Chains A and B, each alone.
Chain A
Amino acid sequence: MSQPYMFEKPLGLRDTLPQAQKEISRLEMIFQRELQRWGYDFIKTPALEYAETIGRASAIADNRLFKFLDAEGHPVVLRPDMTTPIARIAASSLREEPLPLRLAYTADLYRSQRKEGGHPSEFEQTGAELIGDATPYADVEVISLMMSLLEKSGLASVRLAVGHVGFVNAFFYDMVKDKAIVNHLRNLLYSKNDVGFHDYVATLHVTREVASLLNSFVDSRRMNNAETLQFLERLAGTSSTPVHSYYQNITELIHLLKLDNLDAQIDLDITLVPHLSYYTGFVFQGFGGKLGFPVASGGRYDDLLAKFNRPCPATGFGIRLDRLMSAITMPAAEHEKKCAVIYDRENAGNAMRYAAEEREKGRSVVLQHAEGIDTLETFEQQFESVTYFLERTETEE
C-alpha cells in the first residue's frame, strides 16, 4: 500500500459522528434496560483473545479474523464474536454459579470484510446468552426477548425466521446415510441455492421416494407455518428417533410462541441454515425495516461449551446495531435539544449557578464564555435557546 493520507483509516473501519452516536446510545439504553428487566446480567470480555482458543472455536473463517502476534509472540485475534468468549467464561470463571445462567453484552466485534460499502470490519452487537437449559422453553425465551428488543428499538414490521439445524442434519442423515452428502446438502441450504440443491439431489444414488422427499424439503420454504408443521410431522414419523424428538420440540416452540402472540410475525422455515457452524438446534434470524440484510440472528449451540471442558447446553442471539440503525426509518429522537448560556467574567458565578439549576431539571446546557466564540450568530444557531449573562444586562432571547 502507498502512504495513507493523514485522515485515512484502515480498511472497513469508520468513525461514528455525534448524530449516529446519539442513535446508538439510545438503542444501547433501551436494550440495557430491557435485558435487565428480563433478568440478564451484563458482562465484558477483552477485545484480544488467543487465536488457538477463541479464534478457533468461534467458527468465523480464518481469512476474516484480524490476527497478529502479542508481545510474547502468541498469535492473538480481535474477538470476532461474543458467544465464544461467553462460553469460555461460563465454563471457567462462572463455573460454580447455579444454572441456568442469563448473560448479556454490548461489544464491538471484528471481522475482516470485502472491500465494499455497508460491510464494516468493526461493528457493535448487543446480545444475550441463556446457558444451562436444554428445553425448548429456553429457546422461546431468547426468541421472545430478541423480538421484544427489536420492537422496542422502533424497527418497523419485525419478522423472524426460525429453523432447526438439528432436524436438518438428522433428517438428511436418515435419508442418505452419508456424512459427506449431508454436509453438501446443508451447505447448499446455507448458500440459499435451491436450484443447486435440486440438481445435486438428481445426481444422488437414492430411491425416487427419497429424492422426492429431499426436493419437497427445500420447497417447504414456501409453505405457511401450519403446512410446514404438517410436512415436518410426515418427515418425523412416529418412532423415537432424533428427528421425531426435534419435531416435538418444534411443535412445542410454535405452540409457546402462539401463547406469546408472536406467531403472526414468525416464519417457520426448516431450510434456514446460518453460517456459524456451532449451532446444533433451533436457529433464527430477525428482519425488518428498510434494510436488505438481517439485523439479528441466533440459535442453540449445545456443543460449544464442551470445547472449554464444560459440556452444557446453551442458546442465545446477537443484534447488529449498525444494521439496526440503517433499518430504522424513524428520525433521530428530538428530545435532546440543547440550550446555551453565554457569559462574561463579571457574571460567571450567576451563569454557573443558572446552568447547574437547568441541568438539574434535565436540560442539556452548554456554558460558554463570550470571548471563546468566534462569531456569535453562527454559534447561537446550534441551540434551541440562548441565555446571556453579560455585564450588567441580563437579557433572555
Chain B
Amino acid sequence: MNDSLITIAMPKGRIFGDACRLLRNAGFRLPETFETTRKLIFDLESEPFRFILAKPVDVPTYVEYGAADIGIAGKDVLLESGRDVYEMVDLGISKCHMAVAGLPKHQSRRPFLKIATKYPNIASDFYRKRGEQVDLIALNGSIELAPIVGLADAIVDIVSTGQTLKENGLIEYDRLLDVSSRLVVNPVSYRLKKGLIDQIVEKMIKATEGTKVGMD
C-alpha cells in the first residue's frame, strides 16, 4: 500500500456518470476524457489519486481486499456481497429500490414460490425473516423474463423508474429497501491514510448535500 496515493474503485455502467459528476462537485479535477476512456486504470496528473474502473458488483471486493482504498458502490451490491468495509456516506445518487414483482393477479398454488433474482442473499434473507419458504433461482440479467416464461412465480430485483416492469406487464408486490450509491472505505486504508481519507469523506458529504439542495 502506497501511503500517499489513494486508489478509488469506480463502478462502470449505470452509476458511472452520476458518480463522476459528484466527484467533480467534490473538487476532484477529473479530465474531460474520463467518461469516455476505455482505460481501466487512470491516474490524476496533479493529485495523488488513482481511479480503477470495475464492474459494479466487484467494487466491494476490490475495497475489502485493499486493492482499492475507497469505492463507490450501490447499497444493493453491498448488501448482497456482505463485504467488510466502512459504509461512510450515502451519496444520494443512482436512487432506486429493491422490490418483489410478478404478473398481476398471480395466484400460485405451488407449495414453494419460485423466486428469480440477481440477489440470492438479499432475497433469501427477506423471505427467511418473513418465515416463507421459497425456491431461489439465480439469474444474471433480464430478470423480468422469468415470470413471463414461467421460470419463476416472482422476481426480486431493483426498480428505478418502473418502466421495464410496466413494458413487460409486471407489477410490484412488495418493496424491500431503498437503494442508492455509497462511499465505502477499506478498514486498514482508513487507519493508514486517515488524514487523506477523512478529507475526501468530508468533501463528499458536502458535495452530496449540494446535490440534495440542488435537486429540491
Footprint of B on A, CB under 8 Å? 118, 157, 159, 161, 192-196, 198-199, 222, 267, 287-294
Contacts and interface: CB of A to CB of B under 8 A. Distances in A.
Contacts, number: 55
B117 interface: no
A195 B188 contact: no
Contacts of B182: 195
A161 B191 contact: yes
**5 nearest A-B residue pairs (beta carbon):** A292-B66, A192-B86, A195-B90, A287-B191, A222-B198
Contacts of B194: 267
Contacts of B192: 157, 159, 287-288
Contact of A289 (B1, B87, B201): B1
B45 interface: no
Given A195-B182, A222-B202, A267-B194, A291 B87 contact: no
Contacts of A294: 187-188
Interface string B173-216: 00000000010001111011010001001100000000000000
A194 B188 contact: no
Contacts of A194: 86-89
A287 B65 contact: no
B67 A292 contact: yes
Interface residues of B, number: 25
A183 to B, nearest CB: 17
Interface in B53-100: 64-67, 75, 84-90
A161 B202 CA distance: 21
Contacts of B188: 287, 291-294
Contact of A195 (B64, B88, B191, B198): B88
Nearest to A194: B88
Nearest to B63: A292
Contacts of A289: 1
A222 B86 CA distance: 12
Contact of A267 (B67, B191, B202): B191
A218 to B, nearest CB: 10
A184 to B, nearest CB: 14
Interface of B: 1, 3, 64-67, 75, 84-90, 182, 186-189, 191-192, 194, 198, 201-202
A195 B89 CA distance: 6
Contact of B186 (A196, A222, A267, A292): A292
Nearest to A197: B87
B66 A293 contact: yes
A229 to B, nearest CB: 16
A57 B86 CA distance: 28
A293 B194 CA distance: 15
Contact of A222 (B3, B64, B201): B201
Contacts of A287: 187-188, 191-192
A117 to B, nearest CB: 9
A192 B187 contact: yes
Provide the main secondary structure of the chain B interface. mixed
B133 to A, nearest CB: 19
A159 B1 CA distance: 14
Contacts of A118: 65
A287 B192 CA distance: 8
Contacts of B3: 157
Contacts of B86: 192, 194
7 contacts: A157-B192, A192-B84, A196-B87, A198-B90, A267-B194, A288-B192, A291-B66
Contact of B189 (A198, A222, A267, A292): A292
Given A292-B66, A292-B67, A292-B186, A192 B191 contact: no
A287 B189 CA distance: 9
B7 to A, nearest CB: 11
Nearest to A218: B88
A362 B122 CA distance: 60
Nearest to A271: B86
Given A157-B192, A195-B89, 8 more contacts: A159-B192, A192-B86, A193-B87, A194-B88, A194-B89, A199-B90, A287-B192, A292-B187
A290 B66 CA distance: 8
A192 B86 CA distance: 5
B3 to A, nearest CB: 7
A118 B67 CA distance: 13
A292 B65 contact: yes
Contacts of B189: 292
A292 B64 contact: yes
Nearest to B185: A192
Given A118-B65, A267-B191, A290 B1 contact: yes
B178 to A, nearest CB: 9
B65 A159 contact: no
A161 B192 CA distance: 10
Contact of B87 (A161, A195, A222, A267): A195
A150 B143 CA distance: 50
Nearest to A269: B191
B213 to A, nearest CB: 18
Nearest to B83: A192
Contacts of A292: 64-67, 186-189
